[in-house]
Structure 1
Amino acid sequence: MKITSVEAIPLAIPFRRPFAFASGTAHAADHVLVRITTDDGLVGHGEAPPRPYTYGETAYSIVAAVHELFAPLLVGADPFARERLRAEMGRTVANNTARGAIDVALWDLIGQACGQPVHVLLGHAADEVAVAHMIGLGTPAAMVADAVEMRDEYGVEAFKVKVGRDLAQDMAVVRALRQELGDAVELYADANRGWDADTAIVAARRLADFHVTMLEEPNPADDVLGRRRIVRASPIPVVGDESTITLGGVARSLLDGDAEAISVKVARTGFTESAKIVGLCEGLGVATVVGNQIDGMLGTVASTALACGLRSLARHPVEVTNFLVMTDDVLTEPPVIAEGRAAARQGPGLGVAIDPDKLAHYRADR
């Protein structure tokens, strides 16, 4: 089996409402669909959600990277040669989500060729996982309403709360959420590098009073000494996310004392490097969680597959609900969130199909 074509198709799908966090605001899903076809007629898919304020990628830089840099390496190659292809693509720095989407599409192809779901090939730790919902910045009333809707309609009992603004505002939100949702619901916080180190230390102590379980990316990652001060002073674990986007970056962060847990995102490290990161963390006794990049339906299916494949990830609620902020998508069958859980697709590969009419409607290059 050989790869015959590699496509990167930009999409533009409106959100129901903007999704805000300390480092930026997303108004629409300007994602890129990566499609890899083989001479056997199999088609694998991956989704690349650009976040220029986090990784420096845009939809059109992803399209250019896939077509100009990576497609020449892939066409004619065996999709099973993941390690060789990963090494060759790794000679290009950055372009994380472009490479991540390609890796996901390769695993989709491999699963189809083997007649097995991706989560089974990864290790089949579970067939379903508990989910967490990521709450974007807003007023306390709006953020509480978002959480209540997810709890009442979808049974969600774990929430990642966006913070990183004015400390008083952030604490007012956390207080309101805890009062409304009660102590049985898990809350953890994500500042998206929005605070300085001194503010983050104060925030971590106050968050502990509200039984918040983790604090993600409290300050700018390049403030190395500040991050280490936060880790030493915080009564709750500090999670690395944007500051730990590669296998080597995770290793350095953990060994240098910059983080105590790691958020893994399929969108930026695919299945291959994500599994390596999880294995490294498992060996060091460090917790890993599956994060969300405001993924669309395809990214959501991939994240669920990763979590169901690896035991360390299946233990924790997985952030896979934020595709619900989109007005539509290009999959024929949307993911299902029910009773606070998400199930892995049981079809070969990712078990997804693309609606050609929706793809034609939402593609942004025509």
Structure 2
Amino acid sequence: MKITALEAIPFAIPYRKPLTFASGEVRAAEHVLVRVHTDEGVVGVAEAPPRPFTYGETQDGILAVIRQIFAPQIVGLPLTEREVVTTRLARTVGNPTAKAAVDMAIWDALGRTLGLSVSAMLGGYTDRMRVSHMLGFDTPEAMVAEAEHINARFGITTFKVKVGRRPVTRDTAVVRALRERFGDTVDLYIDGNRGWTAAESLRAMQEMADLGLIFAEELCPADDVLGRRWLVSRLDVPFIADESVPTPADITREVLGGSATAISIKTARTGFTGSQRAHHLAEGLGLEVVMGNQIDGQIGTACAVAFGSAFELTSRRAGELSNFLDMSDDLLATPLHISDGQLQVPAGPGLGIDVDPDKLRHYRTDH
């Protein structure tokens, strides 16, 4: 079960419409397919989504670090030495989604070799998760219309609303319109992507105090240390740390410092090995946890649902598992399917997914 090659393939798939939020805009899924090859002919896969406005990674940067630095460090290792892989990758600063994709591809290859699903190897708590859908910036009318479509077609009843614009009333009006349209039949929470100040965040939350939000996420920057503590101490809903907690040390700092009361775990950022550590820490600290999304395609979403379904804590809340619906196509031979507001873990060993070679040939950008 030794690793014989580590492959990184760039691809680009357009979105049906631009996805816009406080920290940037995405018009195409310019991601990297990562494949781990073994001496038994098994191939594990994962997906690295570069987010330069969040982590500083680019598609070219991910290709370079995997091919030039990571591959020489891990080729020749057994699949079972995942902690050795983690330690070697950690020598390189940053590059979280590149590291995560390598880690998850190794887990996929191990599961395929052993004939076990990744979700079962992680914990196997359930085989599905409820789905939360992200609504990007638009007019109240357009965002309500999108929510109506998603609710009617896929049965989704939890919506994460992107906020962080100025004036704050532009976004509070959207959330109010959603609540007035759906009443108490849906759960709503907001994500500011650090777009507001602490004072603006509190004003917005006060304006929405009657709307029954279940969470508020990253409304203001974490480096406004005193402002963020001041804000969180005045909220009556869990405050989710996301971009600010890429490591267990960051989680500890934010929570013990009073700057967060919940966390988002993103397998695209911490892989399966790092996400386990974040999960266990959150469990020990008594935190709420949501499974986040790095605007993943279906490969990344399969990773997220595999992890989220494996544990009781992460499966309590709806996971952010529907961003792939905004893509015009994907790479999987058998697409993921959301039904009755839930996404089931694909059946089969590893991640239970296979890449369609024709689609990969069509969308890859290195030929």
Q: Please indicate the TM-score interval, normalised by the length of the shorter structure.
A: over 0.9
Amino acid at match of 2:80: F
**How big is the shift at 1:208?**
2.7
Give the CA deviation at 1:23. Answer: 0.4
Q: Percent identity?
A: 49
Determine the structure 2 residue equivalent to 1:114: 114
1:192 and 2:193 are equivalent in the alignment? yes
Which residue number in structure 1 is paired with residue 256 of structure 2? 255
Distance apart, 1:206 and its partner CA: 2.4
Between the aligned partners of 1:283 and 1:345, the Cα distance in structure 2 is 30
Aligned match of 1:69? 69
CA contact (8 A) 1:208 1:235 kept: no
Question: What 5-or-longer segments of structure 2 have no aligned partner?
Answer: none
Count residues with an aligned counterpart. Answer: 366
User: Normalised by the size of structure 2, how large is the TM-score?
Assistant: 0.98
Whole-Å separation in 1 of the counterparts to 2:209 and 2:294: 25
1:184 deviates by 2.3
Report what 1:18 is aligned to: 18
What are the Cα deviations for residues 26-58 of structure 1, in whole angstroms up to 9, with x where unaligned?
A: 000001100110010000001011110000001
Aligned-partner SS, 1:288: strand
SS at match of 1:30: strand
Alignment RMSD: 0.8
Match of 2:179 in 1: 178
Matches within 5 A, 1:324-343: 324-343=325-344
Aligned residue for 2:293, secondary structure, equals: coil
The within-5 A match list for 1:26-105 is 26-105=26-105
Distance between the aligned counterparts of 1:63 and 1:221, measured in 2? 29
Contact 1:204 1:236 in 2 (8 A): no
Amino acid aligned to 1:27: R
In 2: Cα distance, 1:206 partner to 1:295 partner = 32
> What is the aligned partner in structure 1 of residue 351 from structure 2?
350
Question: SS where residue 346 of structure 1 aligns?
Answer: coil
CA distance in 1, matches of 2:273, 2:312: 15
Once residues 142 and 260 of structure 2 are traced to their aligned partners in structure 1, the CA distance between those partners, rounded to angstroms, is: 30
* Superposition deviation, residue 76 in structure 1: 0.5
In the TM superposition, residue 221 of structure 1 has moved relative to its aligned partner by: 1.7
- Deviation, 1:346, is 1.9
State the one-letter code of the partner of 1:22.
Answer: A
Once residues 355 and 85 of structure 1 are traced to their aligned partners in structure 2, the CA distance between those partners, rounded to angstroms, is 28
Letter aligned with residue 259 of structure 1? A
Kindly indicate whether the alpha-carbon contact (under 8 Å) linking 1:208 and 1:236 is maintained by their aligned counterparts in 2.
Answer: no
Q: Distance in 2 between matches of 1:146 and 1:158?
A: 13
Partner of 1:322 in structure 2? 323
2: CA distance between counterparts of 1:333 and 1:161? Answer: 29
How far, CA to CA, are the matches of 1:207 and 1:184 in structure 2? 17
Please name the residue that 1:202 is paired with: 203
Q: Indicate the residue corresponding to 2:301 in structure 1.
A: 300
- Quote how far apart the aligned CAs of 1:330 are: 1.0
Instruction: Name 1:273's counterpart in structure 2.
Output: 274
- 5+ residue gaps, structure 1, are none
* Partner deviation per Cα, 1:217-247 (whole Å, 9 max, x = no partner): 0111211111111111112211100011112
Letter in 2 for 1:317: A
Cα distance in 1, alignment partners of residues 334 and 252 from structure 2: 38
d(CA) in 2 for partners of 1:206, 1:272: 40
The SS at the match of 2:215 is strand
Q: Distance in 2 between matches of 1:172 and 1:80?
A: 51
d(CA) in 1 for partners of 2:214 and 2:317?
12
For 2:135, the equivalent position in structure 1 comes to: 135
Shift of residue 263, structure 1, vs aligned partner: 0.4
What residue identity is the alignment partner of 1:91?
R
Given that residues 111 and 121 in structure 1 are in contact (C-alpha distance below 8 angstroms), is that contact kept between their aligned partners in structure 2? yes
**Distance in structure 2 (CA, Å) of the matches to 1:190 and 1:207:** 14
User: 2:176–2:208: 8 Å Cα contact kept in structure 1?
Assistant: no
The worse-fitting range, judged by mean Cα deviation, of 177-186 and 54-63 is 177-186
Distance of 1:131 and 1:365 partners within structure 2: 34
Give TM-score scaled by structure 1 length.
Answer: 0.99
Find the aligned partners of 2:202 and 2:151 in 1 and give their Cα distance: 30
Give the drift of 1:211.
0.6
**Paired amino acid for 1:255:** L
Question: Secondary structure of 2:133's match?
Answer: strand
Shift of 1:277: 0.4
Q: Could you tell me whether the CA contact under 8 Å between 1:245 and 1:269 is conserved in 2?
A: yes
